[in-house]
Structure 1
């Protein structure tokens, strides 16, 4: 462990001279050596930058000047883990924050930006996040933390967006896909710091969104925030690495894939035993603080319920698998052809949820009474409000109608779209009106930023294989302020449901192991 001390006048950092520290001396400002009682020490400026050199090169945390200070403005007092996160943000130009859901990453990033503004390093900040969190999370938190700063959400026509970007606001907030469409205006915006929230969207480095964002972040401070950095495979780290800290990567994507994964057949790659160690080296410097390490929350139980398919669902599943065709239930004689194995799986999962997609936002309905009966029974037994997830819009709409008949239309809210779709109004009704106790939603619509501690039962009417979406969606109720034991329920009707859940849980387990390794570096410092 590195032995350090800060001088009484809070200006100099004293570090015990070791072979590991010696090569770093040229990187430390105003660095000199001196002897004391027969031992050699290094003295340098006590700055965030110097502390950052020690953390990024040696993974040794040294408390910097941002841990305390006047930059902690606003309504809330920072918790110890937030002070540590702020300190590490300010020490590293390129940084990953993998802190758990509900640990205050948003406020920490803003406080860190305010510190850099106070010392003259940063003037303008660009925040890039999911569409649903721009107002609900980021604008709200900016108001809480630094209401004296100007802020603008980039929306409207092309000209209106360009004007908002050019307005000179202290904080500019934009959605991930907006970066490409307003790229020229953003490049002229003279941003010093880019905060990338829910950064897992950049795991595929070949998309136009990733390419534009990489170019935008060049030569700028760049912080990536996500609680789920590796939702699918070790290759997810390649996209994040190229964006934030490409110097940590091997020379080619093929080399990284060969080092972390092994090919089983023409289509399948699996992680090598040492893949986690390599990913850990790539996603560095970083911080990981688990939710349960800093917030006391009740336990969560996970329950699987086997539900039989109705005859109509079973017949549809058999026809889809055997004949690669689906005969419409509501229009007898009309069929939909299925072109490949992936479409077969999707159609089977749709049938299991009681709908089959037959066109753009058009669904054919099947008898799903066995599943609906189980769902109604579970909602009746729940002590409080209930969150229900279905994978398809057609299922969500159908459940809202059927549950409305059972419990009354005022008791059910629906969320199937992003900002501007009525989603926020429906969530507000669900959150604040006692009569509204059921929210039915697609999981990706609800996967980021929302605090729904009035819920303690989440029911997956249709399970997902997407680990990031699964973890984020379940976390809507698992937030600071939750006081009741939580229950996550999976309805499983067919082998395909079981397979989706198994894939999802395997990805979650691997990701949690990786994040535990990251967390070992900072545990004990807060």
Structure 2
């Protein structure tokens, strides 16, 4: 795909190129990754200032997002990546593979530092989700701090750098500038900018900024940190659609393909009706989501990959309210159980709507069929997650319109969690092209049938 950046993406790329230490505080969906990769490309092949780049990211982001971005954009095709993930043997092999960009999950930063230490080969480091380094007591912070002197260029990326308040900024900024702007120690930072808030005798639990501290902190960071909000910089669209691909485990893939083959080969091409095609699609959509109803009506668990992706979206939302659309009863039950620490709410009453719009609900679960016209949720949040997709364009559009509507003050971000190489991809494409008619569903089943009959002419 040809890359035609928004003006703010050009600005972000140049910001990274111009500064040896920098941070981009861009809201989710604004293209932090492609802006950064474009800067890496130029620094590596135009300016010849960078030879090896390390990207530190949450596990799922490390596994898919950066590779997907490179594959998506034409101008990035020459960048070679190596994902330092998996078992220690796999990580070591990936570490010594010839590449431009090495991607590791943040949980393995300590392992990497202990292995390389003074032989640190990366002259540029990108920390994706810099806010995950907000604790100066965490081992990942201490480890990266050890090799910071060997890093010539460093970039921090996040949507919300201080989800729990400005006190969280010190460790993140220290990794960028070694204490130049906010002080050499977290104690000094607290004493200069904060006052004790909640305490138990001598133990201080929370800190509150001194008067004018916020302005002073931001002024000190203004030369290396740029903050952008979607509503301020995105001219069009006012809605950002984001596809998050998840890779199913090997066993789950095998189960999916086996069911798909059995269902499709049990049909006769001349007898494919909307009803039978819909039954087939529903079964496969369930499996893509992670569970399926068996013939006995009981739920059979398949995988948790979408739940893991949902975890990362919740973390990236940094406390902002999230509206989650689910497709099946077992999806709802699994999500409610999985996110129970966040106290998710199921949309059931007018009080639920009122509480959501007043900001009292962190996670609201809604079935698209119950999100019809007239349901106003736009004042409660701007983030949507489709845990499972619907083949109904009407339900899809109506559901999104609960937030993406007149009266919404922020750019709406719509995330779609898609299982790779499953029916999810076909449904997503159909929704994007608005070709979700019964005829389209039947044709999709027929096309898949032809593939399987070519591969299994005897029906096996």
Q: What TM-score, normalized by structure 2, do the two folds share?
A: 0.53
Q: CA deviation at 1:151?
A: 1.0
- After TM superposition, list the pairs within 5 Å mapping 1:390-469 onto structure 2: 418=308, 441=335, 442=338, 463=362
For 1:445 and 1:215, the matched residues in 2 are separated by 34
Equivalent in the alignment of 2:88: 158
CA spacing shift, 1:79–1:401, aligned 2, 3 Å: closer
Equivalent residue number for residue 87 of structure 1: 14
Structure 1 residues 473 and 152 mapped into 2: Cα distance closer, same or farther (>3 Å)?
A: farther
Offset of residue 166 of structure 1:
1.7
**Runs of 4 or more off by more than 3 Å in structure 1?**
184-189, 264-268, 281-284, 400-405, 407-410, 412-419, 433-446, 459-464, 471-477
Residue number in structure 2 paired with 1:289: 228
Choose 1 or 2 for highest CA Rg: 1
- Residue 231 (structure 1) aligned with residue 163 (structure 2): yes
CA contact (8 A) 2:167 2:207 kept: no
1:258 aligns with 2:191: yes
State the Cα deviation string for residues 32-52 of structure 1 (Å, max 9, x = none): xxxxxxxxxxxxxxxxxxxxx
The question of 1:474 aligning with 2:415 is answered: no
Q: 1:278 maps to what in 2?
A: 216
**SS of equivalent residue, structure 2 residue 104:** strand
1:130 to 2:69 alignment? no
CA contact (8 A) 1:165 1:185 kept: no
CA-based RMSD of the aligned residues comes to: 4.5
Q: For residues 138 and 294 of structure 2, what CA distance do their matches in structure 1 show?
A: 41
Q: Distance in 1 between matches of 2:340 and 2:101?
A: 26
Secondary structure (helix, strand or coil) at the match of 2:125 reads strand
Who is 1:168 aligned against?
98
| 8 Å Cα contact 1:152-1:164 kept in structure 2 | yes
- Which blocks of at least 5 consecutive residues in structure 1 are unaligned? 1-73, 300-399, 424-430, 447-456, 465-470, 489-526
- In the TM superposition, what whole-angstrom CA distance separates every residue of 1:25-71 from its partner, at most 9, and x where no partner exists? xxxxxxxxxxxxxxxxxxxxxxxxxxxxxxxxxxxxxxxxxxxxxxx
Residue in structure 1 matched with residue 374 of structure 2 by the alignment: none
How far apart, CA to CA, are the structure 2 residues paired with 1:210 and 1:472? 32
Structure 2: unaligned runs, 5 residues or longer: 241-289, 314-323, 343-352, 364-379, 387-395, 405-460
Matched, 1:103 2:12: no
Work out the CA distance in 2 between the residues paired with 1:486 and 1:100.
21
User: Structure 1 149/269 Cα, relative in aligned 2: closer, same or farther at 3 Å?
Assistant: closer
Name the SS for the 2:166 alignment partner: coil
Paired residues, number: 285
Deviation readout 1:477-517 (Å, 9 max, x if unpaired): 7xxxx9733449xxxxxxxxxxxxxxxxxxxxxxxxxxxxx
The alignment status of 1:209 with 2:140, answered yes or no, reads yes
CA positional deviation for 1:435: 7.8
**Which structure shows the higher helix fraction?**
2
CA distance in 2: counterparts of 1:78 and 1:444, whole angstroms: 39
Whether the 8 Å CA contact 2:134–2:172 is kept in 1: the answer is yes
Residue aligned with 1:98, SS: strand
Q: Would you say the 8 A contact 1:234–1:260 is kept in 2?
A: no
* Structure 1 Cα separation of the partners of residues 19 and 331 of structure 2: 43
Contact 1:443/1:473, CA 8 A, preserved across alignment: no
Are the aligned partners of 1:234 and 1:261 in contact in 2 as well (CA < 8 Å)? no
What displacement does 1:179 show? Answer: 0.9
Quickly say closer, same or farther: Cα 1:185–1:165, change in 2 above 3 A.
farther
In 1, are the aligned partners of 2:291 and 2:331 still within 8 Å (CA)? no
